[in-house]
Amino acid sequence: MRHHAPKFIGVGIIGVGLAALAGAFAAEYQMTVNRDRLLNAQNEPQNWLLMNGDYGAMRYSKLTQFNRDNVRNLRLVWAMALGGMQDVGQNGPENEVNPLIDNGFMYTTDGWGTVYKIDARNPNKGEFVWVCDPGVKHQGNAPRTRGIALWEDLVIANLPDGRVIAINRDNGEIVWDRMVAGKTEFGRVEKFLTAPLVADGKVIVQNGAGDGGTRGWVAALEVRTGKELWRWYVVPKPGDPGSETWKDDHNAWKTGGGGIWQTGSYDPATKLYIVGTGNPFPIYDPQARPGDNLYTDSAVALNVDTGKPAWHFQYTPNDSWDYDEVGVHMLYDATVNGEQRKIVGHFARNGFYYTLDRTNGKFIKADQYVTDLNWTKGINPKTGRPLDYDPKRDVQIYNPVARALRGDGKKRACPTWHGGVAHQPTAYHPVKKIAYGVGIEGCFTQNGAAVVFKSKDGDVDVKASEKREYSSDLYYGSVTAFDTSSHKVIAKAITDIEIRSGAIVTAGGLVFTALQDGWVIAYHDETLEELWRFNLGTPLKGAPVTYAIGPKQYLAVQSGGRHLHPVKYDKLENSSYLFVFALN
């Protein structure tokens, strides 16, 4: 376990104004990231206190120094190498992470769980204050992170080996260390694929290894001790609410999936944690698990005090395309039919943008946002179910042209199983009422392959199961601007390579994202006209964030490995780097 001692760096005598600001930052440094500050994170645009910007996950910044007229003058002002690239495979680590910023200090992590505190007050360089390496063993683990959380004097991180730790933010020492994600009865490993979120003194973490044949779950830990307070499973055991939607005779619920890949949102008024759940398992054989398979492919609202579900909405019952709904669920207010409503907005993996009532989960509206979609004729305007959903069927047919069941040859479905917006962080402009999604367009072809269970104990026999054959086409990236008032796409920008990063929108009229082939790009927030781009020479998965030091606005983006699925090769080397931009 490695710790670098605290070290505080002044900005030097750069002028009376900046010197005074440096002193102000030093005085403010003792401020903790308390409950009130997180509740009002939108009112601190100089900081970035939560991974998705605020509890509503809007990723909106009120900063305006960068604007459409001057964004072409953005320049790289400093960069820092981080760790985390040791022992990585071809695709590199899943470092889809951005730094958190609090009054001139950055906090970030890498794929192996090392946490960094960086003094970012100098306009020309960053410098480590401390580095905390929790000692994750590389053998048997994979490097992956989607971020960390701040609460009072703590930095919270969940690690690739299943531990959750709390670090003293002043000296980098570990305060508590708990093993939370373990192995199932079949020896399958649970994993953290999300950043933790702290709400009302509870650390919310979740298991994301649904595709590995585990049951997704959400757990709450006491923030001061790490003691587990409650745990809710996505796939219910027999007798629990929703178990009647698993109609097999071989205990498929035990390996039922529903992993969670993106941090949920939090509504403090109702104390509801609203999170999207993953696809059922086995992924592509719905006949192996007849029924709707709750609570997979759903939005679920959990009470943070008890862990009990308050409501749920399932997007794609009895899924067979990997249309998990692990993406961000944005919380905002809107007028619907002349009535003010509290909304959950979501770019669904299945290709539709959904609007739900966040107080009760009631469906309001859904419209297509991907270019190509054929798995269903549309969404029922009253129920929110696919139009071809049949409640009398245990195995859904949907559009038979796109639904490959057992014995079927290859059938083409749109969007692709990696398509639409998956876990990539989305953004929402609360003034213009525009939502922004970045992701992947395209279609894929697969055959119907039967999955075999070893016995009635719920475990899958991989060797005895039929082989799935598949291919992708029309595979490319996109940025989508969706007007939530008219409920339609108003602009779309196309990229040659898939986008594994995320979006941020600013009051300066800009949308930023980053690409796998090294580009950081700024778009016009209404037309998605490209206004600026800069190539960093390394694959980018982290979503850009913006912040300010005194009067100066900055843009930060973190690299962290490539994703080669299915055909693109960017000819770049993996790296673990933090890059910072500002105007000339």
Preceding amide of 295 cis, omega within 30: yes
Cβ atoms of residues 357 and 342 within 8 Å: yes
Higher local confidence (pLDDT), 319 or 90: 319
Cα distance between residue 417 and residue 409, in whole Å: 17
CA angle 562, 563, 569 (to 5 degrees): 80
Q: What are 422's two structure tokens?
A: 């998956």
CA dihedral over 479, 483, 484, 489, signed as positive or negative: negative
Higher local confidence (pLDDT), 194 or 472: 194
pLDDT bucket at 187, cuts 50 / 70 / 90: very high
pLDDT bucket at 562, cuts 50 / 70 / 90: confident
Task: Collect all residues with Cβ–Cβ distance below 8 Å to 521 and sequence separation of at least 6.
Answer: 495, 512, 513, 514, 515, 530, 532, 533
Cβ atoms of residues 71 and 80 within 8 Å: no
Residue recorded with tokens 């994600």: 181
Other CB atoms within 10 Å distance of the CB of residue 513: 27
Cβ atoms of residues 120 and 105 within 8 Å: yes
Determine the pLDDT at residue 21.
41
Closest CA to 400 of 392, 391, 412: 412
CA distances from 575 to 33, 85, 183 (A): 30, 6, 31
pLDDT digits (tens, 9 = 90+) for 411-451: 999 999 888 999 999 999 999 999 999 999 999 999 999 99
Cα distance between residue 103 and residue 547, in whole Å: 9
Mean pLDDT of 41-58: 98
Q: What are 475's two structure tokens?
A: 């595979």
Residue type, 185: E
Residues of the chain above pLDDT 90, percent:
83
Gap between the terminal Cα atoms of the chain: 40
Cβ atoms of residues 537 and 553 within 8 Å: no
Which stretch of 93-97, 165-169, 395-399 has the lowest confidence by average pLDDT?
A: 93-97
Cβ atoms of residues 260 and 278 within 8 Å: yes
For 240-265, letters b (16+ CB in 10 Å) and e give eebeebbebebbbbbbbbbbbbbbbb
* pLDDT > 50? residue 28: no
pLDDT digits (tens, 9 = 90+) for 280-294: 999 999 999 999 999
Three-state DSSP class for residue 491: strand
pLDDT bucket at 89, cuts 50 / 70 / 90: low
Where is 37: in which H helix or E strand?
helix 35-39
What is the rounded radius of gyration, in angstroms, for the C-alpha atoms of the chain?
23
Cα distance between residue 181 and residue 191, in whole Å: 6
CA dihedral over 415, 416, 420, 421, signed as positive or negative: positive
Residue type, 335: T
Q: Could you tell me the strand order of the sheet in which 60-61 lies?
A: 60-61, 504-506, 510-514, 519-524, 530-535
Cβ atoms of residues 321 and 49 within 8 Å: no
Other CB atoms within 10 Å distance of the CB of residue 36: 7
Task: Collect all residues with Cβ–Cβ distance below 8 Å to 257 and sequence separation of at least 6.
Answer: 210, 211, 213, 214, 215, 216, 234, 235, 278, 279, 280, 281, 283, 296
Closest CA to 426 of 503, 519, 510: 503
Strand partners, 156: 149, 166
Cα distance between residue 67 and residue 7, in whole Å: 35
pLDDT digits (tens, 9 = 90+) for 116-167: 999 999 999 999 999 999 999 988 888 889 999 999 999 999 999 999 999 9
Longest dimension (CA), the chain: 76
